[in-house]
Amino acid sequence: MTAKRTISILVTNHPGVLARVAGLFSRRGYNIDSIAVGRTEEPLVSRMTIVLEADKATGEQLIKQLNKLVDTVKVSDVTDDATVERELALIKVAADSSNRSEILQIISIFRAKIVDVSEKAAIIEATGDESKISALIELLRPYGIKELVRTGKIAMVRTGN
Amino acid sequence: MRTITGAQAVVESLIAEGVEVVFGYPGGAVLPLYDVLYSSPLRHILTRHEQGAIHAADGYARATGKVGVCIATSGPGATNLVTGIANAYMDSIPVVAFTGQVATNAIGTDAFQEADITGITLPITKHNWLVKDVRELPSIIKKAFHIASTGRPGPVLIDLPKDVQTATLDYSYPEEVDIPSYKPTYHGHPRQIAQVVRALLKAEKPLLYLGGGVISSGASELVRRIAELLGIPVTTTMMGLGAFPSSHELSLGMLGMHGTAAANLAVTGTDLLVAVGARFDDRVTGKISTFAPNAKIIHIDIDPAEIGKNLTSHIPVVGDVKLVLTEVLAGLEVNKAKVEKLAGRRQSWVEQVKKWQEEYPMTYQLGEQIKPQQVIQLISELVGDKAVIATEVGQNQMWTAQYYPFEEPRTLISSGGLGTMGFGLPAAIGAQVGRPDKIVVDIAGDGSILMNSQEMATAKCENIPVKVVILNNSYLGMVRQWQEFFFDCRYSCVNLEGGTPDFVKLAEAYGWLGRRVSDPAQLKDVLAEVLNHPGPAMLDVVIDRGENVLPMVPPGGELSKMIFGKEGDK
């Protein structure tokens, strides 16, 4: 049974390391849902958070393959761990004076905010876990979404007691 | 510390690594490196194609256990290495390839002879580097040799921009290497090893299944001791041929698509399959759901990613085969009493396996024309323990795997995973360079030999006395065989009649000895003449065109359902 899996990878900051990781996914036939990459507290190490659709065995095989890359420091499947997960989305929605206040009401429930506004459209910034972002998008869809950017999920394992 | 150029640093680093020979082909972007080679003690062997250089480095590595080294220029020189790199990657062979690259300021501009070779070889190297700072060169070379030769070995590539080769650095070669993100597991987990010992002491129908990992880890002797101690029959993959003496009474020969019936029936009947340095390749398993259906499976391998990749094993052990088996043997030896008690319980299994061997021996019919199998058996009779055998890919390779009695590791040089036609001759050249004490014979087909026959010039110029024996059926024989079996005898694009060169003249044109034989009565004498010739020699053996490689398990079929003869005779 396939399900969404979240893989967290620490890699050394060498040129081409993203290509190595992404190449491994395509070569072994895995589809990436989302990928987010950025620096960490260690200047020479980056973290990639990758979400993909896979069953458990495939996920295990993928982690082993990722571990084989010389540039990977650590790979973990955090799907079943207690994590804080966030994604940021920018949504440009058609909004004029007739419906702007309605849209404002919707986004305030989601603690999202308008970061740019013009006569015909507004850009909304929203953060949250994937399902929250998706729910907001669905509610805004009837107004007409002109453009949408999502960062892909980042995740951090909670500190246990 | 001395101030030298990047090119000098490459050569000094190679010498520091103990490299004695490199295979290569010069070009614009590696001119600074070749300028240093001009006056260096390294032996450089000029091949006639970059593909020849990488296969020769690969063959050298397989025959000696050392790291093979090759050099090519940028662009087409580098891309010509690609097949050879993939070949070494699939068979886990330690090779370090150096490629020239356009100067750093020209990278990305589509400059003359520019190719993104680190990008191209990402999925077929264990690791690769584009060197942008000459000061990093010594540590990169140190890491390259370390990564290529440790853990699960494999090819690495170092791309050297021309200006990096001419830039200077304060040179010193690092004595140690530390790559925090690269730490192979060598010692098996004690709990897993204890489980292996327990399983071996319990099984009634155990079977050892050896792969190339036994050879690369140098564990042949250990495997033999364990097999003998417990009386376990042994089968090997093609890559594992030589890991266990084929003359040994416990040897069942190769398993899989063209394996022996006894080996395939033993896999189907065993209650404990011990896979050692093997990876359950589809050519070995056939239909995976029916492979070893009654067995508990032990899988010992240094690469954790192989565990559970194709088949779920019951007792996985990640570690170096030699170190793991040393522990297993120690565990068995403290249980001497149990081991002795076992012998009786296993008697019927050993007898059953022997019965299969007697019932289904590897045979073929002699005829008026020469049969390829008899050529291979004669080669072994004539040169025996002095030989290293290389093969091309196709029927020639499978007949060799079936009929040549390999006794020692590193005596078969053959392209396993990738199945690269044209591998045999350059690989034989590399093997001969590494093992001048051996008679190196490339058993070829009339199709594959033409894929790298230009390397005959290399052998001549460098006095490399390889022998090539062509099993000539004027067909792309293995493809023809599949068309006969699975495509209703529609022989599409496999008939080479009328287009094959006169191999005797070809040999002579390159300054080799060339001979042809088609009469079975003359075969032995002509073969002896060729094999004993002091220089490179080629023998064109005209064989029975219709001969097939048998037995055969159809692709994706069950190992217990083999084809033994022509149509209907299954």
> Over the stretch B262-281, which tens digit does the pLDDT of each residue have?
999 999 999 999 999 999 99
Q: Which residues of chain A have pLDDT under 70?
A: 161
A61–B118: do the CB atoms touch at under 8 Å? Answer: no
The whole domain housing A66 covers: 3-77
Chain B contact set for A72 (CB, 8 A): 181
> Counting beta carbons within 10 angstroms of the beta carbon of residue B327, is it exposed (0 to 12), middle (13 to 18) or buried (19 or more)?
buried
Domain-ending residue, one of A77, A109, A127? A77
Mean pLDDT for B9-20 is: 98
> Is residue B343 predicted with pLDDT exceeding 90?
no
Same domain, yes or no: A70 and A87: no
- Partners of residue A56 in chain B, C-beta under 8 Å: none
Write out pLDDT tens, residues B393-449.
999 999 999 999 999 999 999 999 999 999 999 999 999 999 999 999 999 999 999
Q: Which runs of consecutive H residues, i.e. helices, occur in B116-260?
A: 117-120, 137-149, 162-166, 190-202, 212-216, 220-230
Nearest to B309 among A16, A61, A73 (CB): A61
CATH number of this structure's domain B372-542: 3.40.50.970
pLDDT of residue B143: 98
A16 contacts B122? CB cut-off 8 A: yes
- Nearest residue, CB atoms, A73 vs list B126, B181, B305: B181
Indicate if A107 and A73 belong to the same structural domain.
Answer: no
Q: What is the mean pLDDT of residues B439-468?
A: 98
Same domain, A57 and A108: no
Query: Which among A14, A68, A72, A75 is the top mutation candidate for probing chain B, defined by the most B β-carbons within 10 Å of its own β-carbon?
Result: A68
Report percent pLDDT > 70 for chain B: 99
With CB atoms and an 8 Å threshold, state whether B304 touches A64.
yes
- Is the pLDDT at B524 greater than 90? The verdict is yes
With CB atoms and an 8 Å threshold, state whether B305 touches A23: no
Secondary structure, 3-state, B85-146: HHHHHHCCCCEEEEEEECCHHHCCCCCCCCCCHHHHCHHHCCEEEECCCHHHHHHHHHHHHH
Asked which of A77, A102, A128 is the last residue of a domain, the reply is A77
Counting the structural domains of chain A, the total is 2
**Where does the pLDDT of residue B562 fall: very low under 50, low under 70, confident under 90, or very high at 90 and above?**
very high
Taking the complete model, does pTM exceed 0.90, yes or no? yes
Residues A56 and A90 in one domain: no
Which pLDDT value is given to residue A56?
A: 84
Chain A residues closer than 8 Å to B180 by CB: 73
> Which pLDDT band holds residue B328 (cuts at 50, 70, 90)?
very high
Which among A36, A61, A77 is the end of a domain?
A77
Same domain, A65 and A117: no
**Quick check: A144 contacting B, CB < 8 Å?**
no
User: Do residue A54 and residue A73 come from a single domain?
Assistant: yes
CB of A61 within 8 Å of a chain B CB? The answer is: yes
Instruction: Say whether domain B190-359 belongs to CATH 3.90.1300.10.
Output: no
Find the mean pLDDT for residues B524-528: 98
Average pLDDT over all residues of chain B:
96
Tell me if chain B has a CB within 8 Å of the CB of A38. no
Q: How far does B305 lie from chain A, in Å, by closest CA?
A: 5
ipTM of this complex: 0.87
Cβ within 8 Å, pair B303-A68: yes
Q: Do B126 and A72 touch (CB under 8 A)?
A: no
Average pLDDT in chain A: 93
Domain ranges for chain B: 2-171, 190-359, 372-542
Architecture of domain B2-171: 3-Layer(aba) Sandwich (3.40)
pLDDT of residue B100: 98
pLDDT for A161: 60
Q: Both A90 and A139 in a single domain?
A: yes
Looking at residue B541, its pLDDT comes to 98
Q: Hey, what are B169's tokens? A: 């650095």
pLDDT of residue B569: 44
User: Backbone dihedral region of B556: left (phi > 0), alpha (psi from -120 to 50 degrees) or beta?
Assistant: left
Q: In this structure, are residues B443 and B496 in contact, taking their beta carbons and an 8 Å threshold? A: no
Query: Does residue A92 share a domain with residue A47?
Result: no
Tell me: do A149 and A87 sit in the same domain. yes
B6: how many CB neighbours lie within 10 A of its CB?
27
| Whether A118 and A151 share a structural domain | yes
Q: What is the CATH classification number for the domain harbouring A129?
A: 3.30.70.1150
Judge if B2-171 and B190-359 fold alike in CATH terms.
yes
Dig out the tokens for B360 from the structure.
């289904």
Position B24, amino acid: G
**Chain A CB contacts of B308 below 8 Å:** 57, 60-61
**pLDDT score, position B566:** 56
What would the two tokens of residue B158 be? Answer: 């170092």
pLDDT in tens, B115-162: 999 999 999 999 999 999 999 999 999 999 999 999 999 999 999 999
- Could you report the per-residue pLDDT of B364-375, keeping only the tens digit for each? 999 999 999 999
Q: What is the pLDDT of residue B570?
A: 38
* In the block, residue with structure tokens 């088996």: B325
Interface contact flag, A23 B122, Cβ < 8 Å: yes
Q: State the Cα angle at B124 between B56 and B118, rounded to 5°.
A: 95
Q: Which residues of A touch B182 (CB under 8 A)?
A: 70
Q: What is the pLDDT of residues B226-252, one digit of tens each?
A: 999 999 999 999 999 999 999 999 999
CA nearest B121 in A: which residue?
A20
Q: What is the pLDDT of residue B567?
A: 45
Rounded mean pLDDT, B354-365: 95
pLDDT interval class at B511 (50, 70, 90)? very high
Percent of chain B with pLDDT over 90: 96
**Domain co-membership, A151 together with A97:** yes
Q: What is the mean pLDDT of residues B472-500?
A: 97
Report phi then psi at B219, rounded to 5: -110, 15
Q: What is the pLDDT of residues A81-95, one digit of tens each?
A: 999 999 999 999 999
pLDDT score of B1? 75
Residue of B nearest to A73 (CA): B181
Give the Cα separation of B73 and B152 in Å (integer): 28
Geometric angle at alpha carbon A18, from A12 and A22, rounded to 5°: 130
Centre a 10 Å sphere on the Cβ of residue A103 and count the other Cβ atoms it contains. 19
